[in-house]
Structure 1
Amino acid sequence: MDTDYGQWSHWINLPDGSSDWVWREEAIADLLAGHEQGALFVAGCKSNQGKFYPQFDHVVLLSAPAEVLLARVIARTNNPYGKRPEERDAILENLRVVEPLLRATATMEIDARAPIAQVVRQLERLAELRSV
């Protein structure tokens, strides 16, 4: 489930006047509580995601070096994010500030430079371990 879109996330105003794109907590809680069969993979990175960590079997960080991430966002055609210089700057800032926080709370890190089929196999193995 890609939680970066639609019903899963929304903007909130913070006390300092800035805004944050966070999970809609009720929607995420319902998603997690209502899922009963098979593996559920939840994708997204939000400042309030830690509230839900106890409900996940694994928290996986998909990581890649800055040059790989920037090359990918520049080359993709299905999403305009990352085309503007300020968006690429934000990606680099997130790598510097946010990625270490994610790494510290992840139960596993997967090198996303690997071919997509290999990354998917690693994720599927985690789901298989859960069902054993």
Structure 2
Amino acid sequence: MSGTGKSTIVRQLVARGYKAVDTDDGWCEPAPGGLQRWREDAITTLLDTEDAEVLFVAGCEENQAGFLPRFDHVVLLSAPAPVLVRRLATRTGNPFGKRPDELRRVLGDLAEIEPLLRESATHEVDTTAPVDEVVSTLLRLVN
């Protein structure tokens, strides 16, 4: 979900020497209705050719479901609505979620989409913990 800290966590994983991809950074394309989706050709190539011992892929798009069988772990990063609202309002690297219509969409997704994501996840990590703790938890889950 937007504001859970995916991009921050990816940066921390990369800083620790892990291969981590934020799908918001060039791995998506526009979809009908103003949404976006994973570029299936690019994600397929990434998963087919990546030779890192561990690959972290962060993102949340409707067409990700087709890729779930290719992942060893599917981790839902979560945080309560007030935390997401605060993070979206104060983040500087991504403007999404600042406009009222975008914020409504995020909160709607939290109510409608997050429960579906929770069902398909193998783990859930609460990102209200300090970033280093969240990253350590993720590393424990995959090792």
| Aligned equivalent of 2:97 | 82
Q: Structure 1 counterpart of 2:139, which letter?
A: E
Which stretch has the larger CA shift, 29-38 or 96-105?
29-38
Q: Matches of 2:93 and 2:41 in 1, distance apart?
A: 29
Query: Residue 12 and residue 81 in structure 1: after superposition, are their counterparts in 2 closer, same or farther (change >3 A)?
Result: closer
| Aligned equivalent of 2:24 | 4
Q: Matches of 1:59 and 1:76 in 2, distance apart?
A: 25
Query: Residue 79 and residue 107 in structure 1: after superposition, are their counterparts in 2 closer, same or farther (change >3 A)?
Result: same
Q: Structure 1 counterpart of 2:56, which letter?
A: F
| Aligned equivalent of 1:110 | 125
| Structure 1: tracts of 5 or more residues without a match | none
Task: Using structure 1 for the length normalisation, give the TM-score.
Answer: 0.88
Deviations for 1:22-77, whole angstroms, at most 9, x for unmatched residues? 11111101101111122111000011111111110100000000000000111112
2:64 counterpart of 1:70: no
Task: Using structure 2 for the length normalisation, give the TM-score.
Answer: 0.81
| Structure 2: tracts of 5 or more residues without a match | 1-20
Q: Matches of 2:119 and 2:71 in 1, distance apart?
A: 16
Cα offset, 1:19, TM superposition: 4.8
Structure 1 residue ranges, 4+ long, deviating more than 6 angstroms after superposition? none
Q: Structure 2 counterpart of 1:112, which letter?
A: T
Query: Which gives a bigger RCO, structure 1 or 2 (Cα 8 Å, sep 6+)?
Result: 2
Q: Matches of 1:105 and 1:127 in 2, distance apart?
A: 17
Q: Matches of 2:84 and 2:142 in 1, distance apart?
A: 26
Looking at CA atoms only, which structure, 1 or 2, has the larger radius of gyration? Answer: 1
Q: Matches of 1:121 and 1:41 in 2, distance apart?
A: 13
Q: Matches of 1:113 and 1:20 in 2, distance apart?
A: 27
